[in-house]
Amino acid sequence: MPIPDYQTVMLPLLRFVSDGKDHSLRETIDFLADHFFLTAEERQELLPSGSQAIFDNRVGWAKTHILKAGLLESPRRSIFRITERGKDVLSQNPQQINVQFLRQFPEYLEFIRPSNDNATDEQVKVIENSQATPEELLENSYQNIRRTLAQELLIKIKSCPPSFFERLVVELLVKMGYGGSLKDAGKATKLTNDEGIDGIIKEDKLGLDFIYIQAKRWDTQPVGRPDIQSFVGALDGQRANKGIFITTSSVLAP
């Protein structure tokens, strides 16, 4: 099944700690992963940043929300247990516990109220209506910004001459650590003599091996099998072992 969102996790979490004992976040995560029949891959799936497992993050925020509503208490770091209020909530046999349910508790309203005087109730509604945790919202926004920036850069690159793209590719690989300085590591070859090779770069700072580059600054025309075969033939002509084919368009399936 899909990884449950943090609001879906709230009720099973509160039921798990209903025994009144102290529980750690780690054991709670493990129990809930079994409760939701998560696979090993789903348990290990990370946030886009790779900083934390998605499910761990969601359980952590579910715990935070119900703790701020007074249904849990934390006697010490990373340890929590159910409160009398939490037991009372469970005795009512709720069908679900979510952000809207928790708004009945004054402490929780204080928790979700924007601290910025310029903030509006719309920001509270975002919390109520979103199934994502704050980290997920931030990282999704960050990924959207990156995608937009990448699209804008691609449009800019496509508007430049092919020779610019060839030099850009060589400089990019140098910045990635190949071969040291730009002067020592790479060069763009002359278009009239390249025979399908647009750049040559040293694979390492010692210059023990070279990587040959083909850079196609194309707009809508996709790279097909003949283009790749031509590049491979050029590599054979140079007795080269390694090559990189980079394009601004797309690649047809072989």
pLDDT at 189 over 50: yes
Q: Are strands 243-247 and 210-216 parallel, antiparallel or unpaired?
A: parallel
* Average pLDDT of the segment spanning 148-155: 85
Query: What is the rounded average pLDDT for all residues in the chain?
Result: 84
| Residue 176 parent element (H or E) | none
53: CB partners within 8 A, 6+ apart: 43, 44, 45, 46, 47
Class of domain 6-131: mainly alpha
26-35: list long-range contacts, CB under 8 Å, 24+ apart. 26/78, 28/59, 28/63, 29/55, 29/56, 29/59, 32/59
The tens digit of pLDDT for each residue in 105-139 reads 999 999 888 665 554 455 555 555 667 887 887 78
Domain parsing of the chain, residue ranges: 6-131, 161-247
Q: Which fold has domain 161-247?
A: Trna Endonuclease; Chain: A, domain 1 (3.40.1350)
